Amino acid sequence: MLQGRFTSALSGALIVVTLTSCSPSGASDRGPARSGTAGASGIGDADFPTDGNGGYDVGHYTLALGYDPASRRLAGTTTIDATATENLSSFNLDLRGFTVDAVTVGGRSAPFSRSGDEMTVTADLRKGVPFQAVVTYQGEPQPVRDSSNLGSYGFIPTKDGSFVTAEPNGAKTWFPSNDHPADKATYDFRLTVPDGVTAIANGELQGRPASSGGKTTFVWRETHPMASYLATMTTGNFLVKTGTSEAGTPVYAAVDPRYQGQLTRLYELSGRITDYWSTIFGPYPFKSTGGVIDDYASGYALENQTKPIYGGFEPDEGIISHELAHQWFGDSVSISRWKDLWLNEGFATYAEWLWSEHQGQGTVQQIFDRHYRNAEDPIWNYPPGVAQKNDLFNNSVYTRGAMALHALRTQVGDQTFFTIIRRWAADHQYGNATTEQFTALAEQLSGQKLGELFGQWLFDKGRPTTLG
Ligand code: TRP
Ligand code: ZN
């Protein structure tokens, strides 16, 4: 699903291509052009020019995949239900590594070629017409090793399975995709693993896992649109606890046996914090909540939709509150360009501060003041409103992004501030949004001009003087 802003930018670009490729003699009496143009190899994010692809909009992915932890082989099919947004002669998918055995489009074998992490599929597709592409592939997943963005990410083999955390562009390490958050889609997962291994994906488990011939298939379904980086196929030995939160949301918690002592705590905190955020941010946007602790020592957590994951540590309440706040900010309301990442991380960090205050620990104001007092903090050199492509996850995007929200709150007052936050979550639920849309909403609901405040907190270098 593409959001309006992006779709129109893309069609604008492609119309230019179409016009310039018309022959000067004019083709008007030949009727509509027979063949379209090649779909772009990027979705249009200037900082990540080959992430995602142009010319189509994915509605649904069906991933039917088997993984064998012993051989580290992933094999199966990805089915992509999409709609062309232009007349196309070919389109691209993002895929890293693997041997592709076959591609079909509309049930017919389609020629394809590969170059780096781009796969080009030849197919004549008409604007506005739905199509189905099926890719059959196998091989050993190759996670992305990236020193500037938090180390390895994507599909990471572990000693008993896989740890799948794909932000910002690691979906391509396990399925062919339009790998950019601007094109969200719903998902079905049919994951087959050796008996005794648990396979965890997003959304809800459909029925009981079925075993035959030494293998078990887990069927999961995510019915709400999801960014590709939030999709997961985490496998291994897990202890699982399921139930329902006090407010009635189903909870799925899973821990590697090494974290056995954490299972009940993770289960209860995940339900309780989800319920609390629902009272602050508005109704929980998904059908279930939960969390996963694996023993792969990534040292970080990721807000995988409905299934935040914690990599090799006992998560404290701060990080659980952070990942669950992302379910509203990042997962339900998603960015359409990576430079707007503070809309995810600033909001989730602000939520941590709210949780601290709610627990009777440091208040939001105390935490803000502590950061503000540190005049030497490198966050003052990095304006968080424009995340830098080589340093997306800089502490400023988190901490100074959260401080920007607190400066806004101080300026407009508690009531208007929380109205803005709830309206943001409601207006863009399941969609995409930009920083400009957030600042416009804040001005509209407060009736104030906030250019100076947002300028100092989000866009200018130096420690702001406007404290709200
Ligand atoms: N979004 C994560 C958080 O703030 C951090 C993160 C960024 C991450 N890139 C990642 C986690 C890659 C895992 C993998 O909680
Ligand atoms: Zn985060």
Ligand nearest to the CA of 168: 1
Q: Which atom, in ligand 1's list, is nearest to the CA of 330? A: 1
Share of the chain above pLDDT 70, in %: 93
pLDDT of residue 149: 65
Q: Please report which ligand is nearest the Cα atom of 154.
A: 1
Nearest residue by C-alpha to atom 9 in ligand 1: 167
pLDDT grade for 453, boundaries at 50, 70 and 90: very high
> What's the CA-to-centroid distance between 365 and ligand 2, angstroms?
21
- List alpha helices for 359-428, DSSP H: 364-373, 395-412, 414-427
Closest CA to 424 of 309, 367, 358, 347: 347
Counting from 1 in the atom list of ligand 1, the atom nearest the Cα of 300 is: 11
Residues 120-146 pLDDT 10s: 999 999 999 999 999 999 999 999 998
163, 169, 230, 302, best to mutate for ligand 1 pocket (most atoms within 8 Å of CB): 302
Cα–Cα distance between 33 and 14 in angstroms, integer?
Answer: 14
The two structure tokens encoding residue 424:
């943001």
Question: Does the structure show a pLDDT above 70 at 417?
Answer: yes
pTM, full prediction: 0.93
Q: Is the CB of 294 under 6 A from ligand 1?
A: no
| Domains assigned to the chain | 2-237 (2.60.40.1730), 335-459 (1.10.390.10)
Q: Among all ligands shown, which has an atom nearest to the Cα of 230?
A: 1
The residues, any chain, with a CB within 8 Å of residue 8's CB and separated by 6 or more, are none
Please give the number of the atom of ligand 1 that sits closest to the Cα of 398: 4
The strand ranges marked E within 261-415 are 289-294, 301-302, 309-311, 334-335
Q: Indicate if ligand 1 lies below 6 Å from the C-beta of 352.
A: no
Query: 28 pLDDT band (50/70/90 cuts)?
Result: very low
Our CA angle for 244, 223, 49, nearest 5°, is 125
Q: Closest residue (by CA) to atom 10 of ligand 1?
A: 167
